[in-house]
């Protein structure tokens, strides 16, 4: 049996691996901390002239007031508690912080996490570093759906925004189902899915262009604004819907972490390891697309987070999806919140659509990745 | 029906892989026709034959990646077609010709993927231990934390074999394990397979182009031609100038070097 030297080598490898696992957990914990800090900063920033203290006071006051109301409601009037403090924050400020900034901040987190997670999954199942949540045409389909609703007479007013979002969601899901159907017929290979996806992307874009050509100027303008990807439209209710869709999709994808790992070695190897490569690819694609559709239907298409976040995280913690999926999601959340916070402040009081800023920040980063990591990626 | 039962005497109690009358076609293009082979634990079977003879198809039929239209594959008497993919994965390891790894992943993680048929979502200390054992057995501990995509072809091949061994299989299937390797790595990989068969009592089935390597390291050779078994048996019986000429269309001199046939191809006929 192995002598002392070999045993030492084995325990050294074990130590290295455990350190590697530790590094991954540290990265996840660090990103969580970063998110907490970013949220803390983002709440205090904005075009309204609210001090840091007032912003936090508003959050604490509103939270405790809600809690107080909830507790009292449960007591059914038998006991009336009053524990919510009154910090004398002007109610206008409280409204800005709690009903505009907070939902926006959390929407950034949820959408960023959803897009990064969907991007990680798409890259794994398509075995392609260029894949993103939008590779199979989800964003173009959502844009067409939104444009259809807007240009055919519905406008972005309070009551109809749900119709626009619903339409965007429906078309995004329709796109995913079409790719699913074609892939089932022609074999669920990455090539089939990418080619079918690109084809549909052109189809949706073409139809959107047609709508823009025949539509009235102001409606076309509104449709265009929708496509920019903007978190300004975030509300608590929309946040709830997007979160619910994400909560429905994420468990399946995280459970499939091992299958995604194995798919990276090719379909043949995956099958020899007991994984039905085609089926995993198809169902994961559906869940990732649903996740993406839920994220973009309210806020429009926000590019690059879903492409870049998985790459950055993979470089730091490696390709094991058990760690990569949660880490990518957290990193995507942090990245989008950082971008959105920048979008709200760089040209304040003008608020830029975050979709524009992610592209500005994403393109140089992506070029850097291509130039620096080329050898390892292609 | 030609059956490959050359080599050693079959003893009872040893794990056996039987391939019985396997026929497979891709749509209307026939790939395998009535192929029957028997191979036991501790044996290395080399499948040779020209390009398109059906070597890879045969390997894929053995581990159920492809389902034969006729015939059966029996593992210790149990029909593989009646097993779930996971069950097959627990008993047969497979190293395909190429593993298109695109994303940087550590060697440790690649080998750990071989534990997929055995583990739940969390991998246990036992799974990690198995990986360490395999890395040690193949003497690639030093590569453990290296990026798989940055390794040389020879190193990658060893890692992929390690990945298959982490499955703790009874049968190891390999598709061209030595293609793209330099001479030294070819020998290292072949010696490794020989050792695995001898010491771990594995059934090793490999599709291989290099006739000399096949002659030196395999117990039995099956020569496929256009989806049929053309010849089967001990290397010296199969790798004859006549067979090579008829199957490959190549004139060859076969001499003997340290008790094994040595093939020197001369020119196409």
ipTM of the complex as predicted: 0.89
Contact A264 B102 (CB under 8 A): yes
Q: What is the pLDDT of residue A375?
A: 47
Contact A17 B128 (CB under 8 A): yes
- From residue A112, alpha-carbon distances to A131, A161, A173, A292, A304 in Å are 16, 21, 19, 10, 10
Between A217 and A28, residue with greater pLDDT = A28
* Alpha-carbon radius of gyration of chain B: 18
Domain assignments of chain A as residue spans, ordered by start: 103-373
Q: What is the pLDDT of residue A1?
A: 42
Best residue in A11, A189, A272 for a mutation probing chain B (most B CBs within 10 Å): A272
Using CB atoms within 10 A of its CB, is residue A140 exposed (0-12), middle (13-18) or buried (19+)? buried
Q: How far is A93 from chain B (nearest CA, A)?
A: 47
Report the range of poorest mean pLDDT among A64-68, A177-181, B89-93.
A64-68
Q: What is the pLDDT of residue B7?
A: 37
| Model pLDDT for residues B211-244, shown as the tens digit of each residue | 999 999 999 999 999 999 999 999 999 999 999 9
Identify which of A308, A185, A201, A323 has the alpha carbon closest to the alpha carbon of residue A260.
Answer: A323
How would DSSP label each residue in A253-271?
HHHTHHHHHHHTT-HHHHH
Q: What is the pLDDT of residue A51?
A: 81
Q: How large is the average pLDDT for residues A14-32?
A: 93
Q: Give yes or no for residue B176 having a pLDDT over 50.
A: yes
Contact B106 A20 (CB under 8 A): yes
Establish, for the pair of chains A and B, how many residue pairs have beta carbons separated by less than 8 Å.
Answer: 125
Q: What is the pLDDT of residue B12?
A: 52
Which pTM was predicted? 0.89
Dist CA B212 CA B261 (whole Å): 7
Instruction: Give the confidence band of B38 by pLDDT, cuts at 50, 70, 90.
Output: very high
Instruction: Give the confidence band of A84 by pLDDT, cuts at 50, 70, 90.
Output: confident
Contact A265 B101 (CB under 8 A): yes
Q: What is the pLDDT of residue B122?
A: 78
Query: Is there a contact between A94 and A102 (Cβ–Cβ < 8 Å)?
Result: no
> CATH: 3.65.10.10, 1.10.3720.10, 1.10.1040.10, 1.10.3470.10. Which one for A103-373?
1.10.3470.10
Q: Give yes or no for residue A154 having a pLDDT over 70.
A: no
Q: Give yes or no for residue B96 having a pLDDT over 70.
A: yes
Give chain B's domains with CATH numbers.
3-100+168-268 (3.40.50.300)
Contact B121 A314 (CB under 8 A): no
Chain B residues within 8 A of A315 when measuring between CB atoms = 104
Q: Give yes or no for residue A106 having a pLDDT over 70.
A: yes
Between A78 and B24, residue with greater pLDDT = B24
Sign of CA dihedral B246, B173, A376, A134: positive
Chain B residues within 8 A of A375 when measuring between CB atoms = 150
Identify which of A129, A327, A262 has the alpha carbon closest to the alpha carbon of residue B115.
Answer: A262
């Amino acid at each position: 049996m192995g002598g002392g030297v070999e045993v030492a080598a084995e325990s050294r490898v074990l130590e290295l691996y455990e350190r590697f696992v530790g590094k991954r957990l540290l990265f996840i914990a660090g990103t969580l901390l970063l998110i907490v800090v970013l949220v803390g900063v983002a709440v205090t920033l904005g075009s309204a002239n609210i001090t840091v203290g007032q912003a936090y006071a508003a959050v604490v006051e509103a939270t405790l007031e809600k809690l107080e109301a909830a507790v009292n409601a449960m007591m059914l009037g038998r006991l009336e508690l009053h524990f919510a403090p009154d910090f004398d924050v002007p109610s206008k400020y409280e409204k800005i912080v709690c009903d505009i900034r907070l939902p926006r901040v959390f929407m950034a987190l949820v959408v960023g996490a959803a897009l990064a997670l969907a991007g990680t999954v798409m890259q794994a199942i398509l075995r392609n570093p260029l894949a993103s949540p939008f590779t199979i045409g989800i964003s173009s389909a959502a844009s067409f759906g939104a444009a259809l609703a807007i240009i055919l007479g519905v406008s972005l007013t309070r009551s109809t925004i749900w119709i626009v979002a619903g339409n965007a969601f429906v078309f995004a899901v329709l796109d995913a189902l079409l790719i699913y159907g074609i892939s089932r017929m022609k074999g669920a290979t990455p090539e089939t899915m990418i080619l079918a996806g690109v084809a549909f992307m052109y189809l949706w874009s073409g139809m959107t262009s047609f709508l823009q050509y025949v539509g009235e100027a102001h409606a076309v303008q509104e449709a265009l604004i929708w496509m920019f990807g903007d978190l300004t439209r975030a509300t608590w209710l929309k946040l709830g819907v997007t979160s619910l869709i994400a909560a429905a999709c994420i468990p399946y994808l995280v459970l499939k972490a091992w299958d995604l790992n194995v798919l990276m070695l090719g379909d043949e190897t995956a099958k020899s390891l007991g994984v039905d490569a085609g089926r995993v690819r198809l169902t994961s694609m559906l869940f990732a697309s649903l996740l993406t559709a839920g994220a973009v239907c309210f806020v429009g298409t926000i590019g690059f987070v879903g492409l870049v976040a998985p790459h950055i995280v993979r470089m730091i913690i490696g390709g094991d999806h058990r760690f990569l999926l949660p880490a990518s999601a957290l990193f995507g959340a942090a990245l989008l919140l950082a971008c959105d916070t920048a979008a709200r402040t760089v040209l304040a009081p003008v608020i830029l659509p975050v979709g524009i800023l992610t592209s500005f920040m994403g393109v140089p980063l992506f070029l850097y990745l291509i130039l620096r990591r080329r050898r390892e990626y292609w | 029906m030609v059956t490959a039962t050359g080599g050693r005497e079959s003893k009872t109690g040893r794990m056996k892989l039987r391939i019985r009358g396997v026929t497979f076609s891709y749509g209307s293009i026939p790939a395998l026709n009535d192929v029957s082979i028997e191979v036991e634990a501790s044996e290395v079977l080399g499948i040779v034959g020209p390009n398109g003879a059906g070597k890879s198809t045969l390997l894929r039929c053995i581990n159920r990646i492809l389902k034969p239209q006729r015939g059966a594959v029996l593992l210790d008497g149990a029909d593989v077609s009646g097993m779930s993919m996971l069950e097959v994965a627990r008993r047969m390891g497979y190293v395909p010709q190429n593993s298109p790894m695109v994303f940087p992943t550590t060697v440790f993680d690649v080998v750990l993927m071989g534990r997929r048929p055995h583990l739940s979502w969390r991998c246990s200390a036992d799974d990690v231990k198995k990986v360490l054992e395999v890395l040690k057995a193949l003497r690639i501990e030093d590569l453990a934390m290296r990026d798989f995509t940055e390794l040389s072809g020879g190193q990658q091949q060893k890692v992929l074999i390690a990945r298959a061994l982490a499955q703790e299989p009874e049968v190891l299937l390999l598709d061209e394990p030595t293609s793209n390797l330099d001479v030294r790595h070819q020998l290292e990989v072949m010696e490794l397979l020989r050792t695995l068969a001898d010491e771990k009592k594995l059934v090793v089935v490999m599709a291989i182009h290099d006739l000399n390597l096949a002659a030196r390291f395999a117990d039995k050779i099956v020569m496929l031609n256009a989806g049929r078994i053309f010849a089967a048996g001990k290397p010296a019986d199969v790798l004859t100038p006549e067979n090579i000429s008829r199957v490959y269309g190549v004139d060859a001199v076969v001499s003997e070097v340290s008790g094994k046939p040595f093939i020197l191809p001369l020119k196409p006929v």
